[in-house]
Amino acid sequence: MKIIGITGTLGAGKGTIVDYLTKHHRFQHFSVREYLTKIIKAKGGEVNRDSLVATANELRAQNTPSFIAEELYRIAKESGVDCIIESIRTVGEVNSLHSRGNFTLFAVDADQRLRYERIVERASETDRISYDVFAANEQREMTNTDPNKQNLSACMQLADYKFINNGSFDLLYRQIDEVLEKIK
């Protein structure tokens, strides 16, 4: 059983990697976003990037910096099958999951303009924003000294494998398959 976490910049292809692993390699998917969305909706809140970030930060501050990822890891481990945990965003999460063993972290990145074009195209509820807002959101999440808040840059530096996703789906899929062969 493998447990893979995924981190990366906004619109870089985290979802594409998840789709590929679930459809072609039978991984079960656990999403931080889905976990947080359930909590926000249960409280009657509106789901958007700000509410997702605020809810995550609040849970981490009330518990531990790695609380959300640890919850998803626990559920993934109980499943007994290969799993992917999407959207690892804090150093505490990375360190906690690595310390448990049987965990590999993937990071994905791409050119910023290309990533913005991708989020405009996918048009999810958190993606209907201008390029300036996109860039500001990303900057806010890239570096932070508060262990309860996102630090994508540091998480990506701690990744076991990094993917640059500026090309085709097939190119990304080949990179993923090469890494899966290494970690078997």
Q: 125 pLDDT band (50/70/90 cuts)?
A: low
Please give the mean pLDDT across all residues of the chain.
92
| Residue 148 CB neighbours (<10 A) | 19
> What pLDDT, in 10s, does the model give residues 153-172?
999 999 999 999 999 999 99
CATH superfamily of 3-183: P-loop containing nucleotide triphosphate hydrolases (3.40.50.300)
- Rounded-to-integer distance, Cα 54 and Cα 160, Å: 28
Of 17, 6, 4, nearest to 176 (Cα)? 17
DSSP alpha helix (H) spans, 25-164: 32-42, 49-62, 67-79, 91-99, 112-122, 131-142, 152-157
What is the full DSSP assignment across 121-137? HH--TT----HHHHHHH
> What pLDDT, in 10s, does the model give residues 79-112?
999 999 998 988 989 999 999 988 999 999 999 9
Domain boundaries, the chain: 3-183
On whether the CB atoms of residues 46 and 174 are closer than 8 A, the answer is no
Specify burial of residue 164 (Cβ count, 10 A radius: 0-12, 13-18, 19+).
Answer: middle
pLDDT of the residue at 126: 63
- Rounded-to-integer distance, Cα 135 and Cα 111, Å: 12
